[in-house]
Amino acid sequence: MSQDNPKLFISYCWSSTEHEQWVLKLATELRDAGVDVIFDKWDLKEGHDAFAFMEKMVTDPKIQKVVIICDRVYMERADGRSGGVGTETQIISPEIYEKEDQNKFVAIVAERDENGNAYLPTYYKSRIYIDLSDSDLYATNFEQLLRWVYDKPLYIKPKIGEKPSFLSETDPIYLGTSVKYKRALDAIRNNKGYAKGAIDEYFQTFVENLEEFRISSVEDEFDDKVIENIDKFLPYRSEAIAIFLSIAQYRNTPEAWQQLHRFFENFIPYMDMPEGVSTWRKRDSDNFKFIIHELFLYAVSSLLKYECFDAVTHLIRHHYYVEKNSDYGRDVMVPFIIFMQYMKSLEHRNERLNLGRSSLRADLLEQRSKTSGIAFRQIMQSDFILFIRSCFDKINNETDQGWHPETLLYSNSGTFEIFARAQSKEYFDRVKCIFDIEDQKDFIPLFEAFKRNELRIPRWPFTSFNPEMLLGFERLATRP
């Protein structure tokens, strides 16, 4: 017998012939699974001392595991200390109560009473057991038993990481959204009648209190302050992502799309010079530019995750109102590209620290995605979709600017999921609204404009991307 075959003793009661056969079947299945089962019908011979046999099986350190098969008769005899079961109980119970390592023993429920309660000895009632009484769940719970025997649990505690840096701050920034966030989340997920109002309250508090993140005075390098500031924002980004995902999953309605649209619209003033300020530089809002851009990417990604294509279309088709439009031309209605703005401070940081990075913004988005619950590949997909949509808008003279997809610096040129699925004509017909097109061939003018350099594909020192490949253009709508 190999050392990889753990030794296991079965304690049970001769309740009935049927029960004995049930236990025998279980013992055989365990043997078939590589467990060296010690079983009285196999190992207790005529003339052996039954008490000594049982005591050895329970206390012998070479017996790594002991299973206690519990049915009504076993429970009654264990509690009454009668018969062989009573003898085993006197041996087992001190082992369970007094030994530090309690992983040697587990009860297996083979029978339940008329109310569905497990038959368990009094000494074991507070402990976790394995239920093999339900034939429908037998296979799943037998696997649980094997995992216990082999010390191979289904869920393994992950390696502990480092404390998030924002928790170490001596001067954290509070948005005051916690209570309203929880109320909104519960209302969305449980379809409460006040869900719209709860979402509005959360969004309003979030936008108004974002002022707390404004960088006012800087004694050291400004770019350090920007990095520190957006790091402190992480808990509130997590709140917002949870709301975005819940809206996408439970409340994909035109009313909710409009709420999201207004939420982002109300952010726009933060990226411009605040009122009552005489001295201001564009870099002074760089933290807001990063925060708002990141939130917009996550909102789009959350909606795409649950295939809310009409909601994404609403966010990028409908322009945003800017009451005092100094930087964006005379028109007070501006396209979604307003949420992607250049950050001077990150360029300065790259040069000042001699980092030699192609895009610090892309680096930050990639690093921060690891704690977001949304894969970075999904963020890149959203970035690419916004880029392609902005290219269509430029061709149609709806804007003279484009969306710069910073995250595609990390692209490996594989077709994004949404376009891979759009090989299906039915799926493509659902997705095409995002680009305001009717046919896959409508992408061709974009490719031609790229070739003529009328539209620019972003390039970094060592990489770029191919829009046709990321779209999987050749296979779009080629299947039913």
Identify the CA nearest to 129 among candidates 138, 115, 118.
118
Q: What is the biggest distance separating any 2 CA atoms in the chain, rounded to whole angstroms?
A: 103
Q: Which among 149, 174, 203 is the end of a domain? A: 149
**Could you tell me if 82 and 197 lie in one domain?**
no
CATH classification of the domain holding 57: 3.40.50.10140
Our CA dihedral for 343, 346, 347, 350, rounded to 10 degrees, sits at -170
Q: How many CB atoms lie within 10 A of CB 22?
A: 18
> Are residues 192 and 325 located together in one domain of the fold?
yes
**How does DSSP classify residue 400?**
S
Q: What is the DSSP letter of 375?
A: -
Question: For residue 14, is it within any domain?
Answer: yes
Contacts of 120 (CB under 8 A, 6+ apart): 70, 75, 107, 109, 129
Could you say which of 149, 177, 193 is where a domain stops?
Answer: 149
Residue 468 Cα to chain centre, angstroms: 30
DSSP 133: -
β-strand partners of 38: 9
What per-residue confidence (pLDDT) applies to 295?
Answer: 98
Check residue 14 and give its pLDDT. 87
Q: Is the dihedral of CA 348, 355, 291, 455 positive or negative?
A: positive
| pLDDT confidence of residue 137 | 86
With tokens 């236990």, the residue in question is: 23
Tokens of 54: 């049982």
Are 339 and 299 in the same domain?
yes
Query: Rounded to an integer, what distance in angstroms lies between the CA atom of residue 436 and that of residue 310?
Result: 11
Q: What is the mean pLDDT of the chain?
A: 89
Tokens of 84: 């062989």
Which has the higher per-residue pLDDT, 269 or 50?
269
Q: Is residue 156 part of a domain?
A: no
Q: Angle formed by the axes of helices 286-305 and 222-232, to 10°?
A: 30
pLDDT at 99: 63
118 and 236: one domain?
no
- pLDDT category of residue 1 using cuts at 50, 70 and 90: very low
- Given this model, what pLDDT does residue 164 score? 64
**Over residues 316-340, mean pLDDT:** 82
**Residues 147-170: what's their mean pLDDT?**
76
Residue 462's domain comprises 165-475
Q: Which of the pair, 86 or 445, is modelled with greater confidence?
A: 445
Same domain, 449 and 303: yes
Residue 140: pLDDT over 70: yes
Q: How many other CB atoms sit within 10 Å of the CB of residue 115?
A: 5
Judge if 128 and 202 occupy the same domain: no
Locate 354 and state its tokens.
């001699």
480: in domain: no
121, 149, 177: which is the final residue of a domain? 149
CB-based contacts of 242, cutoff 8 Å, min separation 6: 181, 185
In terms of domains, do 325 and 207 share one?
Answer: yes
On whether both 38 and 177 belong to a single domain, the answer is no
166 pLDDT above the threshold of 70: no
Same structural domain for residues 290 and 315? yes
Confirm whether 391 is domain-assigned: yes
The number of folded domains in the chain is: 2
Is the same domain home to 431 and 316? Answer: yes
First-to-final CA distance of the chain: 57
The H or E element that residue 333 is part of is strand 333-334
What does the pLDDT read at residue 266? 96
Average of per-residue pLDDT across 432-451: 95
Place of tokens 């799309």: 257
Is residue 420 scored above 80 in pLDDT? yes
Please report which confidence band the pLDDT of residue 330 belongs to, taking 50, 70 and 90 as the band edges.
low
Same domain membership, residue 292 and residue 187: yes
Other Cβ atoms less than 10 A from the Cβ of 235: the count is 16
Average pLDDT over residues 420-430: 97
Considering only residues 443 and 84, tell me which one the structure prediction assigns the higher pLDDT: 443
pLDDT, tens only, 203-240: 999 999 999 999 987 778 999 999 999 999 999 999 99
- Mean pLDDT is lowest, of 136-140, 249-253, 312-316, 389-393, for 136-140
pLDDT confidence of residue 329? 54
Let me know whether 132 and 199 are in one domain: no
Residue 265 lies in a domain: yes
pLDDT tens for 3-47 read: 579 999 998 988 899 999 999 999 999 999 999 998 888 887 766
Helix (H) or strand (E) holding 106: strand 105-109
Nearest to 84 by CA among 65, 58, 104: 58
Q: Which residue has the higher pLDDT, 1 or 365?
A: 365
pLDDT reported for residue 97: 59
244 with 302: CB under 8 angstroms?
yes
